[in-house]
Chains A and B, each alone.
Chain A
């Protein structure tokens, strides 16, 4: 469930120039994006068993995010984002959590660009901003691990503006420390406060159209951990779980001049150890030049 949150922050933050696309800022321009995301589910997969939980009802995670993308050159962007997250449940008595989650930074570099085909390398990392509780799932705002992501984005864009994008990432996730010093992982009892959070990967295929002012695309995304255990029968999730999800969605952007808007919808169609989340996102973009050209 928190994967929904985590992955959202890791790779799905949908902005003007995202860490997961092949679109770049013009040189010496930057784009500030402010967005709001609403993710909720009322069913989840306990391991492979799809179920509801009347003591949670509908779980909702909302995110307000500020993101800055800076075009250093026409082939190199730097992107930084900070999310504020708050969770709630419509039923039961679980305490709602809120707070700043993890600051993330990305470097996106186009190392091949010929005849509409571009290859882009993206590296990113994230670090928790606050000492939030990571294992009160699904109400925690994140897993509180540090992450490092390596991603390859391949795009082919036809002169008509139609494009296809595919990417794949590997996400290294650090161990975390929790408040208690005993927990089960793979049904073995560990007597330590250190928890091994499994690494993760994602894959995506997207098809869309873009021109100077508009971008619209549909996508499918698959995210999963490389290993991990499962939600124990009738219990809460835990950071060691192997969370897997497959989502489909749509993304659109309208930015005729400096000011623009974007929106995104996605729905988890299949998963394990995650909620079947429906997400909506809307953002405001503001693009500006940070260096006057020709100035020395």
Chain B
């Protein structure tokens, strides 16, 4: 402070400043890659040898679709296949090895992840056109604007449910034939084959990877018709990875692919007739509103978007559920929400007004973590990811992983169906329709408030996962409760929406748990 600094003495200062900048540059520029967690190669703790007896969803039995007997271990054909496999393995490149390890994390695990990524990419609400109308996505022209599908939560719940059911049924079938024909893994048939992935005693014909890949492909190309080239590339890559890894010979793959494809098509037959095609019946809303007013909802829900957007899938509540029938959907419908302007309503509204004024950073964090809004894989995807991680860290077999996805996935779609039934039965307004001071810190969904979809999805998923992973029950229930309350913190739901939704979700999940108790996999 007391001496003037001479210019010359500043030169080193400047040099060191430049140095600092270079260090900063190095720090920032070299670390642009984000630490996206990569899943390790799966090492199942059991091969679940009796899974051929587990109960499928769509197939009448695990032998419904025939698989031809493979050539014997000493046949010329099989020996030629082994020789070819050995030869082709000598040319496996480093990048092919990476692909081997990628798929080695698990077939159902990876295809579930692909399903989630597609859901996120297609989770875009159509933009309004010049006339203030919202064009409806067209399945026949999936890449036009708006893209088909709009993979919103009900759509994604259903897409992932079918994906999981197809994988599961195909694998149960595959397990049946694996143990019927008992063809050894190539590296066990010929010890000079050094497989690139862990080899168990699981018979290799038909290939479980090809089964999952083909079944998944059938479902996802129907659910995301604009992605056929992308899916074809994934399918080919997955099949090749098993050859590069020395895990399967061509005939294992071919038989697996044929079986997976047949199961996938069979599962899609159900999908085509489950009522989803009629789930966006906007003509029904007038009657729904009339009914809601009649049962006391004096201010029925109105779209808060400009221009007003037709509500999301008003007749999704009539889509066929998985673990119970349509009568049960009505029976599971939660009790009526508080009358608008009743003391209970006001109390709930006051809570939101308080949060609107003084949302804490932690409330914002929870709301954001569970937001799962547009451009995300939605709450169903969030819970599928949790299921995938749990299966992987618990070293589940391929077939047990698929079973977990199927149980969780069907429960989540059932929750969606029940939730949409309640939403359009009560047609209850969102908080900010009742008071514009309730501005939202996450995207405001464009459909009625009661009950909370997040809460329903999460309750159902946590119920099923807690049954499968009992030592994680406390954590899973806490996650579901947090997902539920996040919608209050995000200012898009009343507390009663969330509490009723979470409780009903748990009830819905219990139907899948009952199935799990008797599906033969205990």
* Residues of A participating in the B interface, judged by any CB pair closer than 8 Å: 27-28, 54-55, 72-73, 75-76, 91-96, 107, 109, 111, 121, 123, 125, 131, 133, 135-136, 146, 148, 150, 172-175, 178-184, 187-192, 194-196, 199, 232-236, 238, 291, 295-296
List, in ascending order, chain B residues with CB within 8 A of A94's CB: 439-440
Is B14 touching A111 in the complex (CB atoms < 8 A)?
Answer: yes
List, in ascending order, chain A residues with CB within 8 A of B465's CB: none
Is B28 touching A199 in the complex (CB atoms < 8 A)?
Answer: yes
Interface string of B1-41 (1 = CB under 8 A from A): 11011110010011001101100110111011111110000
Is B375 touching A183 in the complex (CB atoms < 8 A)?
Answer: yes
A275–B118 Cα distance when bound, in Å, is 29
Given contacts A73-B4, A121-B14, A233-B124, contact A95 B307 (CB under 8 A): no
Is A182 touching B377 in the complex (CB atoms < 8 A)?
Answer: yes
- Checking B14, B121, B126, B127 against A109 with a beta-carbon cut-off of 8 angstroms, the contacting residue is B14
A133–B368 Cα distance when bound, in Å, is 9
Given contacts A93-B436, A172-B29, contact A234 B127 (CB under 8 A): yes
List, in ascending order, chain A residues with CB within 8 A of B364's CB: 133, 179
Q: How far is the CB of A16 from chain B (nearest CB, A)?
A: 21
B371: CB under 8 A from chain A?
A: yes
- Checking B28, B127, B147, B432 against A173 with a beta-carbon cut-off of 8 angstroms, the contacting residue is B28
B304: CB under 8 A from chain A?
A: yes
Name the CB-closest residue of A to B440: A93
B82-101: which residues lie under 8 A (CB-CB) from chain A? none
- Checking A121, A191, A235 against B36 with a beta-carbon cut-off of 8 angstroms, the contacting residue is A191
List, in ascending order, chain A residues with CB within 8 A of B491's CB: 95
> Could you list some 24 contacts between A and B, CB below 8 A?
A55-B306, A72-B5, A76-B5, A76-B10, A93-B438, A93-B440, A94-B440, A107-B17, A123-B18, A123-B20, A175-B34, A179-B368, A180-B371, A189-B117, A189-B121, A192-B34, A196-B33, A233-B145, A233-B147, A234-B125, A235-B375, A236-B374, A295-B2, A296-B2
A94–B34 Cα distance when bound, in Å, is 29
List, in ascending order, chain A residues with CB within 8 A of B370's CB: 180
- Checking A55, A75, A233 against B305 with a beta-carbon cut-off of 8 angstroms, the contacting residue is A55
Name the CB-closest residue of A to B22: A150
B483: CB under 8 A from chain A?
A: no
List, in ascending order, chain A residues with CB within 8 A of B20's CB: 123
Name the CB-closest residue of A to B309: A55
Is A148 touching B28 in the complex (CB atoms < 8 A)?
Answer: yes
Is B306 touching A123 in the complex (CB atoms < 8 A)?
Answer: no
How many A-B contacts at CB < 8 Å in the complex? 146
Q: How far is the CB of B378 from chain A (nearest CB, A)?
A: 11
Is A93 touching B117 in the complex (CB atoms < 8 A)?
Answer: no
Given contacts A95-B491, A174-B27, 5 further A-B contacts (CB under 8 A): A55-B305, A95-B356, A150-B18, A150-B21, A234-B125
A107–B375 Cα distance when bound, in Å, is 41
Given contacts A182-B377, A184-B120, A232-B124, contact A93 B304 (CB under 8 A): yes
Interface size class of B (residues with CB under 8 A): 35 or more
B158: CB under 8 A from chain A?
A: no
B116: CB under 8 A from chain A?
A: yes
Q: How far is the CB of A262 from chain B (nearest CB, A)?
A: 27
Name the CB-closest residue of B to A147: B28
Q: How far is the CB of A75 from chain B (nearest CB, A)?
A: 6
List, in ascending order, chain A residues with CB within 8 A of B484's CB: none
B444: CB under 8 A from chain A?
A: yes
B324: CB under 8 A from chain A?
A: no
- Checking B121, B127, B368 against A187 with a beta-carbon cut-off of 8 angstroms, the contacting residue is B121
Q: How far is the CB of A81 from chain B (nearest CB, A)?
A: 18
Q: How far is the CB of A224 from chain B (nearest CB, A)?
A: 17
List, in ascending order, chain B residues with CB within 8 A of A121's CB: 14, 18
Q: Which 5 A-B pairs have the closest CB atoms?
A: A179-B368, A148-B24, A54-B306, A172-B28, A234-B127
List, in ascending order, chain B residues with CB within 8 A of A133's CB: 364, 368, 441
Q: How far is the CB of A73 from chain B (nearest CB, A)?
A: 5
Is A235 touching B440 in the complex (CB atoms < 8 A)?
Answer: no
- Checking A28, A191, A233 against B37 with a beta-carbon cut-off of 8 angstroms, the contacting residue is A191
List, in ascending order, chain A residues with CB within 8 A of B17's CB: 107, 109, 123
List, in ascending order, chain B residues with CB within 8 A of A236's CB: 374
Name the CB-closest residue of B to A188: B117
Q: How far is the CB of B436 from chain A (nearest CB, A)?
A: 7
A111–B305 Cα distance when bound, in Å, is 56
Is B5 touching A95 in the complex (CB atoms < 8 A)?
Answer: no
B176: CB under 8 A from chain A?
A: no
Is B21 touching A148 in the complex (CB atoms < 8 A)?
Answer: yes
A88–B121 Cα distance when bound, in Å, is 29
Is A195 touching B34 in the complex (CB atoms < 8 A)?
Answer: yes
Name the CB-closest residue of B to A177: B34
Q: How far is the CB of A85 from chain B (nearest CB, A)?
A: 16
A296–B356 Cα distance when bound, in Å, is 57
Q: How far is the CB of B159 from chain A (nearest CB, A)?
A: 15
Name the CB-closest residue of B to A181: B369
B452: CB under 8 A from chain A?
A: no
A147–B10 Cα distance when bound, in Å, is 24
List, in ascending order, chain B residues with CB within 8 A of A111's CB: 14
Q: How far is the CB of A174 from chain B (nearest CB, A)?
A: 5
B270: CB under 8 A from chain A?
A: no
A138–B142 Cα distance when bound, in Å, is 29
Name the CB-closest residue of B to A145: B28
List, in ascending order, chain B residues with CB within 8 A of A75's CB: 7, 10
List, in ascending order, chain B residues with CB within 8 A of A125's CB: 24
A232–B127 Cα distance when bound, in Å, is 11
A116–B27 Cα distance when bound, in Å, is 37
Q: How far is the CB of A145 from chain B (nearest CB, A)?
A: 9
List, in ascending order, chain B residues with CB within 8 A of A150's CB: 18, 21, 25
A125–B27 Cα distance when bound, in Å, is 13
B361: CB under 8 A from chain A?
A: yes
Given contacts A76-B10, A232-B375, A234-B125, contact A192 B21 (CB under 8 A): no
- Checking A28, A187, A194, A295 against B34 with a beta-carbon cut-off of 8 angstroms, the contacting residue is A194
B284: CB under 8 A from chain A?
A: no
B365: CB under 8 A from chain A?
A: yes
A174–B116 Cα distance when bound, in Å, is 28
A180–B10 Cα distance when bound, in Å, is 45
